[in-house]
Amino acid sequence: MRADKNQVSRLLKTARGQLDGILKMIEEDRYCIDISTQLSATEALIRKANKEVIRAHMKGCLMDAARDGNVDDKIDELMNVIDKLK
């Protein structure tokens, strides 16, 4: 993986902490909108981490493939990932 591991790990650990907090909110029967707000914030962190991974892939693996002349497979691979994003 070529992404900044510290940045991606920090984002995912924060998201994990938020998930633990959300589970506690559910156990405490907290207000639905508050739970939804926290879920959205957690999704945003995960999307940000994923963007960093994809960005690093494009700057590294995709560029390497372009230099080697076999970029088509890497573009198809990237498009499959993009298709799964919201």
Domain harbouring 11, CATH code: 1.20.58.1000
Buried b (16+ CB within 10 A) or exposed e, 18-28: beeebeebeee
How many C-beta atoms lie closer than 10 Å to residue 15's C-beta? 19
Q: Give the model confidence (pLDDT) of 13-71 as tens digits.
A: 999 999 999 999 999 999 999 999 999 999 999 999 999 999 999 888 888 898 898 88
Planar angle of CA 32, 11, 2, nearest 5 degrees: 145
Q: Which pLDDT value is given to residue 86?
A: 66
Q: How many domains would you assign to the chain?
A: 1
Q: Identify the domain containing residue 79 by its residue range.
A: 5-84
